[in-house]
Amino acid sequence: MVEIVVTGMGIVSALGVGTDATLRGLQSGKTSVGRIKYLQTRHVDLPVGEVPCSDSELRRLIEVSDDVKLTRTGLLGRVALKEAIVSSGIENSRPERVAFVSGTTVGGMEKSEQYYRDFLNNNNHNEYIALHDCGACTETIAGQYRGNFAMMTTISTACSSAANAVILGARMIRTGECDAAVVGGTECLSKFHLNGFNTLMILDNEVCRPFDKSRKGLNLGEGAAYLVLETLESANRRGVKPLCRLSGYGNACDAFHQTASSPNGDGAFLAMNAALQDAGLRPSDIDYVNAHGTGTPNNDESESHAMMRIFGDSVPPMSSTKAYTGHTTSAAGAIESVISVLALRNNFIPGNLNFEQKIEGVSFAPQKENLADVQLHHVLTNSFGFGGNDSSCIFSRLEGNGWQVKNDVGGSGIYIQSIKQISMQKPLCEDWFAHPIYSTTPYNESLDPDFKSYIPPMTARRMGRLLKRAIVTSEEAVKDLGGESLDGIITGTGLGCIENTEKFLNAMIDNDEECLQPTFFMQSTHNTVSSQIALHFHCHGYNITYSHRGTSFDSSMYDAYLQMKSGALHHILVGGHDEMTPDYFKLLGKVGYWKHGNCGADVLKKHDTQGSLSGSCSLSMLLSDKRTPETLCRISGMKMLYAPSDEQLSVCLKSMLENGHIPLSDIDAIVMNYSGDKDNDDVSHHVYERLFAPIPVMWYKHLFGESFCSSAFGVYVGAVALSRGMVPTNLLYEGGSPIDHLRNIIVFNHFHNQDYSLVLLSC
């Protein structure tokens, strides 16, 4: 029986730095949304919730010199993380296994938009190129506490990112994958997002009025927050008094529109209902709802109808706190979780600022004024993102009051039913197994199928190529579902639709933030891929996107593994989708990602120079808890680690094999992530000699190229080899005769010797 408690919190927002400043700001009943001070934009008339500190002041708060390259998103994250770590005491009495899960969408965009033309045309600011993606942001935030974390990943589901980080951390604790998790999110203001939301015409030029009849839109904000979750047993062992319990959580997909919510709030209803069921609570047990409440006409009406469906005529006191902080997008779920815990512990309900009149057709009104000295036992907080990604969490007092501990029910087997790919090989087939296409050039495009056979032309013309590839591979993979219902879509993407991101960024720079079109912005958010797949299949189930550099796919597969291990889900579509553009290829080339000239397999095997050959990646994998005649193989185990020592990696491998009841002597092949890059391959060779020699080695990046999701092809080649019972010569790193009679394969991956994954596949 696993009880999850909160033992520490850290927060920074427009209300100030720290939990004390946040509580004082809320109790003052005054907004912190105002004129732009730090962001350099022409739209100074739009009110925002800026953190009241310059970058230099933030650096002084965490004692970081200018020599350490950090984006503002990273700085905000470090400030909040420091308070969470200190308040929980985990530095002094650290649980053995601590995970770090952070949510962000902006990542390093604030620096990229400032230096983008420099990136392309000179070498003045190359140090920020590698800090653009979301995963890099998480890595830099964790930099001050590298030794504290055993595993790390990044979630990017737009405005529900941080809430989903809370959910993953709790899932890892429940399934025994870690003892504690530091979870939350961070987001700074950027011209890219300010202009993007402005093109959608959902920004208010006054301070927002959530749930008011006259509401016109939202105010963007920035900030960061993290919570320390751990088992009650771990807290007791460390002698730490918990702040509260995390008693339940739920995620669902509205599957209605790329940005808008459904009129009846289907996704919001499903997320709240799932959280209540998870906590073993009735709607009447909830004492306060911290609503998503953005102030947009669509969101507030949709969320209101969802609450009416949940609570009937007895909607508890509820309010949105976004008029205090602005909408902090990816950080909102964590910032408002901290606010919910502060309300719970201080018997206080913050008022819904600027409310005057109810929305027509809505039966209740928000709590207008601050309410003190009110007994709160259970607080529900909502976070809803683009693409209908809806998440709810419930925080409860340590006393019982009807709350019950929920056990995760053990799942059955985890099987790979089908995998479909679009890459530099022939698409949607496995011709590469016997007749591969070899590239010798650094830059490589995917070989696309005829999209018109899958997507109506009028729909396809509004989609970027990555979205088309993702939908086609997903549709092909789901054909093997056999009439069952798909109940989860989990996607990995390091860059998302980078082509559309570049188009919006270029237009914003060229047009001086004027006359911009919304389509490219809407498709620039990382979870666009996962939400479009959900829309395509009308799937309202679990929906998460991971964006953690070279382990983006590994993270999505790991989440699916945990879901099925616990018996929570039964049929999950797992994807790895990334594209490469000429401009981004040029940028990554400046920081050593690609080789120059001939990139043939023989050159890659030498691994005596920096860089590899690039590839675009779109791969969809159907996982099921039942074996069928079409099953490719079984996932017998999976582990993820952050910056492990040799000994930690060895212990992890041993644990995975023991849990799978498979001795190392029964492993027939190792799929390694050799890419031709000297630094990457030196690490991989060391790991191979330390753990796996002399087991035969398979490789795959000479056929599929390198991308942030290329590790998906490592699992792919392992699964296909097991299903066919042999490894052809073209997949053997040292060549030689084909291997047959396969039973078990281990797939190994690492990114920059920091993020590691191990996957155990069995026939």
Q: Residue 153: helix, strand or coil by DSSP?
A: strand
Tell me how far CA of residue 33 lies from CA of 43, 245, 534, 715, in angstroms: 15, 31, 35, 48
Joined together, the tokens standing for residue 301 give 């009406």
Quickly list DSSP for 452-471: GGTS-HHHHTTS-HHHHHHH
Is 159 tagged catalytic? Answer: yes
**Residue 371, CB-side half-sphere exposure with 13 Å CA sphere:** 18
What the block records as the tokens of 194 is: 């300010």
Sign of the alpha-carbon dihedral angle for 407, 413, 418, 421: positive
CA distances 233 to 6, 57, 217, 236, Å, are 12, 38, 44, 5
Burial of 459 (0-12, 13-18, 19+ CB in 10 A): middle
- Which residue of the set 132, 193, 327, 750 is catalytic? 327
> Of 651, 653, 645, 743, which is closest to residue 686 (Cα–Cα)?
645
- Three-state DSSP at 487 gives coil
The answer to whether 607 is a known catalytic residue is no
Tokens of 525: 């958010």
CA distance 201 to 362: 24
Q: Which two tokens stand for residue 655?
A: 């644990």
Across 87-238, the runs of DSSP E, i.e. the strands, are 98-103, 151-155, 180-187, 223-231
CA dist., res. 9 & res. 627, Å (int): 43
Query: In 212-331, where does DSSP find H-type helix?
Result: 232-238, 266-279, 297-311, 322-325
For residues 175 and 565, the answer to whether their CB atoms sit within 8 Å is yes
Given the residues 159, 208, 539, 709, select the one marked as catalytic. 159
What tokens appear for 95 in the block?
A: 């649980």
Q: Which of 193, 292, 548, 570 is catalytic?
A: 292
Letter string b/e over residues 303-331, b meaning 16 or more CB atoms within 10 A of that residue's CB: bbbbbbbbbeeebbbbbbbbbbbbbbbbb
Rg of the chain over all Cα atoms, to the nearest angstrom: 25
**Torsion angle of C-alpha atoms 59, 62, 63, 65, degrees rounded to 10:** -40
CB-CB contact of 132 with 547 (8 Å): no
Cα 675 to Cα 438, 610, 732, 737, 757, distances in angstroms? 14, 10, 14, 22, 16
Distance CA 244, CA 235 (A): 11
Q: Which residue has the tokens 């009104």?
A: 365
3-state secondary structure 342-358: HHHHHCEECCCCCCCCC
Among residues 29, 1, 5, the alpha carbon closest in space to that of 15 is found at: 29
Question: Could you write out the three-class secondary structure of 703-730?
Answer: HHCECCCCHHHHHHHHHHHHHHCEECHH
CA 587 to chain centre: 24
327 included as an active-site residue: yes
Report how far residue 455's alpha carbon sits from residue 214's, in angstroms, rounded to the nearest whole number. 39
Omega before residue 297 within 30° of 0, cis: no
> Which one, of 751, 461, 710, 425, lies nearest residue 579 by Cα?
710
* Burial (CB count within 10 angstroms: exposed 0-12, middle 13-18, buried 19+), residue 81: buried
Catalytically active residues, by annotation: 159, 292, 327
